[in-house]
Amino acid sequence: MRGATPVDTQPRTMLDHALRYASMGWRVLPVRPRDKRPLIRDWPKLATTDEATIRGWWARWPDANIGVATGPESGIVAIDVDERHSGEESLATLCRRYGPLGETVEGLTGGGGRHLIFRYPDDAVVRNAAGVDGCPGVDIRGDGGFIVVPQSVHPNGRAYEWEVEHNPLDGFQPAELPEAWVRLLSRPAEPTTANAPGNNGEKIVEGGRNDRLMRLGCAMRRQGDDEETIRGALVAYNAARCVPPLDESEVAGIAKSCTRYAPTGASMPKPTRAPARRIEATPRPTALDEAAFHGLAGQIVRAIEPHSEADPAALLIQLLVSFGNIIGRTAHFVADGAWHYLNMFTVLIGDTSKSRKGTSWAHVHRICDGSIDESWARTRIGMGLSSGEGLIWAVRDPHFKTEAARVNGKPTGESVQVMVDAGIDDKRLLVQEAEFATALKVMAREGNTLSPVIRNAWDRGNLQSMTKNSPARATGAHISIVGHITGEELRRYLDTTECANGLGNRIVWLYVQRSKCLPEGGRIDTVDFGAMGRQLIDCVAFARSVGRLERDDAARELWASVYPQLSEGKPGMVGALISRGEAQVMRLASIYALLDRSRLIRPAHLVAALAMWEYAEQSVRYVFGTTVGDPVADDILVALQARPEGMTRTDIRDLFGRHQKGGRIGTALSNLEDLELVWCERTDTRGRPLERWFARTDDATNATVAT
């Protein structure tokens, strides 16, 4: 039976997992998630099994990935098989030359490869090496090396996992390396590693260390090695040959410099996995309807528009969200007994810098500067969504602790409350997240609390993490978010219906693009925003005096006509992302009303909000089409559409090789079945029923849904 690690029903933090590895005698170290670099200097010496040291590291970096140092101290050596560099083919070649390796501890890496972990040989020294015996994609992590282990998360957002039947956490032990492999791996490393010809084991002293490391790194790069492989080899060489050794951060910098050059030898193919496919093509959103530019917000955007390449939709939504945050937690509407304040989340989807997402925010920030609310502009705009605890801390309540009362230094037997932290008086916060993809990747990490805290911030504003070491809480928080992301990143990192239901439907997603080409730039300095700025100040003051907003009779009639369609459930990823349409429209309509200094939501405000929401729906449909939103389900559907004879569970499992759990595939099939995109023919046997899955066809045309 092949597969990945079963889901651990016992919640664990990265610290818990690190301590488990340490209890096995494996020396651990904290690793930076975004680039797999160690977070500590001189890690070959400092990697440890000491519990106090490990707790200190993960208290400082709670989301750090877990590295395990290879070598005699941990008692393990790892063969790193990288599929992207033809590693599986190379491993087969090596097995033909030196004999089979046999079963051992096996980890599935987030990058699509695997780690085969063996017992460190007693009478040999296994060095780090890249491209063993001239075979690309098979590297050795031995003395002075390290590997990243489960439950870490790869920079691409995928988790590292143990192969289910070869999991060391379940007691499976690393096998001994066959003798022929010991001789291969313990002999002097290949010329592409730190033991290049001409080194001869001599010590390299100050004045020649950087040059030698750079030449070695560039030699490895020419033969196709990546930054991680080069860094590992240079770190080992530096520790063994340089007197005194260079600081590890300096060695890492050399490795990074080497990879600026394209390899000239072995090829370095990119991952072949395509983004989730659309079931049918969806047109790009048309221009935002003129009705959305109602009132003062529309006037401001129209004044900016001739002088900016930014999309008017981007300017408008960010202005509305900023206004909703500036006014604070006062104005609200009530729906089904729940109070909705006017803090909103929006994420702009565009093609890198060409969509002018950053430019649009700069214009909005210029309008909402200190002249509108100096304190807000100076202190209540932040950036960097990394953890739920960090978000709570930015709007935290005062924190007190109980201490024994003392008089003249002697306890009185009574207790007193002592303020530890004064907290934040102003509960408003606008988070401007220019790299929203990073936030989505952070949310995917086990134990990270960012997603539930953000959801609570949209719903209620009373925030508290259940993390034992984080006592901070916040009441009445008024948090808004403006994020920027590319369509490719969004499809890659927001890729499950469950995630979309939890977070995505609280966000207004807008596809934006450059509106025009201004080679000489605009003349925004010639626009007089004085009158509009004064009106905006008046609107802020008015909004802070308003409590509950309600629809007038005409708006109620209009609302009754649009509500059924807004609140109707829709399938797939699109349905998940727009499932709070009625609440989003009412928040937008309320903001439009306040910008008209009206306590009543009138039809014009509702029409403006509906126009904005219609554009948001178009944006979601364009980015996701009618996909399920789960890349596993989408890949299964495409495969089934190409196989009219159907596929068994085994066929579907083989579609993904060894890199998808059976439960994960089962969930994907269930989603497809619920959406009536596939059907299953089950045949009774003496054991488990035999399943054969088929893509559904259109009865009228006998054709499957178009891809």
Sign of CA pseudo-dihedral 419, 422, 425, 430 = negative
Query: What is the spatial distance between Cα 605 and Cα 585, in angstroms, rounded to a whole number?
Result: 10
Answer for the pair 404, 415: CB distance below 8 angstroms, yes or no. yes
| Domain presence at residue 285 | no
Q: Are residues 320 and 235 in the same domain?
A: no
User: 185 and 132 in contact (C-beta within 8 Å)?
Assistant: yes
Scan for tokens 């009478």, then name that residue: 123
Task: Give the CATH number for residue 686.
Answer: 1.10.10.10
Nearest to 361 by CA among 315, 430, 403: 315
Distance of CA 590 to the CA centre of its chain: 32
Q: Evaluate whether residue 97 is within a structural domain.
A: yes
Claim to verify: residue 582 and residue 487 sit in the same structural domain: yes
In a domain, 430, yes or no: no
Distances 34 to 112, 136, 154 between C-alpha atoms, Å: 16, 24, 8
Instruction: Check residue 116 and give its pLDDT.
Output: 94
- Strands 105-108 and 161-162, bridge-based pairing: antiparallel
User: Is 442 contained in some domain?
Assistant: no
**601 and 660 fall within a common domain:** no
End-to-end, the C-alpha distance of the chain in Å comes to 33
**Nearest to residue 273, comparing CAs of 111, 418, 87?**
111
Give the pLDDT of residue 581: 92
Q: Which helix (H) or strand (E) covers residue 338, if one does?
A: strand 338-341
Cα within 13 Å of Cα(136), Cβ side: 17
Both 368 and 475 in a single domain? yes
Low-confidence ranges of the chain (pLDDT < 70): 1-11, 187-203, 205-208, 211, 219, 222-224, 260-282, 352-358, 370, 466-470, 495-501, 571-572, 625-629, 658, 675, 685-688, 697-707
d(CA 129, CA 144): 11
Residues 564 and 681 in one domain: no
The token duo for 538 is 């008046």
Domain hosting 245: range is 197-272
Flag whether 237 is in a domain: yes
Indicate the number of domains in the chain. 4
**What was the pLDDT predicted at 498?**
47
Q: What is the chain's percent helix, strand, coil content, to nearest 5? A: 40, 20, 40
Looking at the fold, whether 19 and 129 belong to one and the same domain comes out as yes
Amino acid at the residue 636: I
Whether residue 90 lies inside any domain: the answer is yes
Cβ atoms of residues 147 and 141 within 8 Å: yes
Boundary-marking domain end, from 147, 166, 190: 190
| The last residue of a domain, from among 624, 656, 681 | 624
Pair (29, 120) in one structural domain = yes
Look at residue 434 and tell me if it is in a domain.
no
| 649 and 682 belong to one structural domain | yes
**CB–CB of 129/185 below 8 Å?**
yes
Residues 362 and 470 in one domain: yes
> pLDDT, tens digit, for every residue of 656-678?
876 777 778 888 888 788 767 88
Range 302-339 burial, b when 16+ CB lie within 10 A, else e: ebbbebbbbbbbbbbbbbbbbbbbbbbbebbbeeeeee
The residue to which tokens 């579609």 are assigned: 655
Quick check: pTM over 0.85?
no
Last residue of a domain, which of 190, 208, 241? 190
Judge if 318 and 221 occupy the same domain: no
Query: Which are the contacts of 390, defined by CB distance < 8 A and separation ≥ 6?
Result: 384
Note whether 347 and 479 are same-domain residues: yes
Domain of 505: which CATH number? 3.40.50
**How far, in Å, CA of 703 to CA of 300, rounded?**
50
CA 237 to CA 181: how far, in whole Å? 22
184 in the same domain as 158: yes
Q: Is residue 491 part of a domain?
A: yes
